Amino acid sequence: MFTKSTALDQLEAIYGEVIGRNPGEAEFHQAVREVFDSLAPVVQRHPEYLDMKMLERICEPERQIIFRVPWTDDKGEVHINRGFRVEFNSALGPYKGGLRFHPSVYLGVIKFLGFEQVFKNSLTGLPIGGGKGGSDFDPRGRSDGEVMRFCQSFMTELYRHIGEYTDVPAGDIGVGGREIGYLFGQYKRITNRYESGTLTGKGLAWGGSLVRTEATGYGTVVFANEMLATRGDSFEGRRVTVSGSGNVAIYAIEKVHQLGGRVVGFSDSSGYVVDEAGVDVGLLKQIKEVERGRVADYADLRDSATFSDRGSIWDVPVDVALPCATQNELNGPQAATLVKNGVIAVAEGANMPTTPEGIRTLQAAGVLFAPGKAANAGGVATSALEMQQNASRDSWSFKHTEARLTEIMQGIHETCAATADEYDTPGDYVVGANIAGFTKVADAISAFGLI
């Protein structure tokens, strides 16, 4: 008889192989561990996944591309960065996932993001596989000309590996509308083809989709609201903090306010702001999107706001917390502080922002917890909707696109909740998301034979 203990032993052995094959890639190891911790009941019920080496196949990217990116700054000095594209899994469709430009980027980060993307994209129900890319280039403090020259050099190598039926990159940390514009321009220049569906997150005037800017933040809040509804609750009248102050955080704040909640805090790498009157989204957009300033600038201009560079955004007592900045930003002690202060729900707007200890602390306290692969899937879902519009040479209204986004996020919530129930872990969205995402991809891989 194939017992749970046997399943756990098999998973542990495979995880050990993953560590051995991918040394020094801590973030990737963490992402694999988080998924494997949910899969014992799956392989116990379906041992054929082990016979087909499905776990090993899903943990090995189909293709890993690393390349040199030379460029010159405004003074004529030559710089060399490293570029990456990990095309992780295309069982459900062309590789789909963003590009991240940040000094912390290395192969392990890109593989963790690509691995997460496979399951996230699966949960959307849309025909897209998973991939991720980026560079250790830091766009902060660089002029438009320097960013343009870097993007052009980056695309000069990347263009040969992407395409609307092969691999469709988008933005991520450090890659917004400006960068996507430079990247697409160089792709068009090299290929002499106006393939709108090759990149998403484009400008509205040249193939972009309404709601794409808002999608990740909006979708995270919609998912959180669905979780709250399972307990007869909602955002109405609730205090909320949102970590970060970039694209995801800004539009998460906006959607919380639309649903009747009050966001009282946000942050960046320099510290955090508390605004008991409720965040002025218009002012925050001006500072972060137009002036490219810091959160302290918001506090300087808002009488009801204070800035602190001590402690953490998670010290602020709230009902709902939305980590929307970066990986591993919410740890065990910080989660314990949230619990002590009465938090009832946490939904991840970023990729893997909560450490394993943090997740255990929240779940042990009965806090509703939504993992990023489910809660922040709205961004890639709307990217896929952008691909649909490009393919049909069409453009949808904001209302129609937002309705589709909301429908997709509600569907993801329903899938995660139903899968958790099916595997006897009701209310565990981590288990529900991991199992639902895994089984769909694994079954597609199996259907294609050994490739």
DSSP-derived secondary structure letter, 330: B
User: One-letter amino acid identity for 268?
Assistant: D
Q: How far apart are CA 442 and CA 100, in angstroms?
A: 27
**Nearest of 328, 355, 314 to residue 104 by alpha carbon:** 328
| End-to-end Cα, the chain, rounded Å | 30
Q: How far apart are CA 196 and CA 254, in angstroms?
A: 29
Full DSSP string of 296-324: HHHHHH-TTEEEESSS-GGGS--SEEEE-
Q: Are 431 and 376 in contact (CB under 8 A)?
A: no
Tell me how far the alpha carbon of residue 75 is from its chain's centroid: 35
Helix (H) or strand (E) holding 67: strand 63-72
**Nearest of 178, 83, 95 to residue 130 by alpha carbon:** 95
Q: Are 163 and 420 in contact (CB under 8 A)?
A: no
Find the catalytic residue in 132, 255, 288, 373. 132
Mark whether 132 is an active-site residue: yes
Residues forming the active site: 132
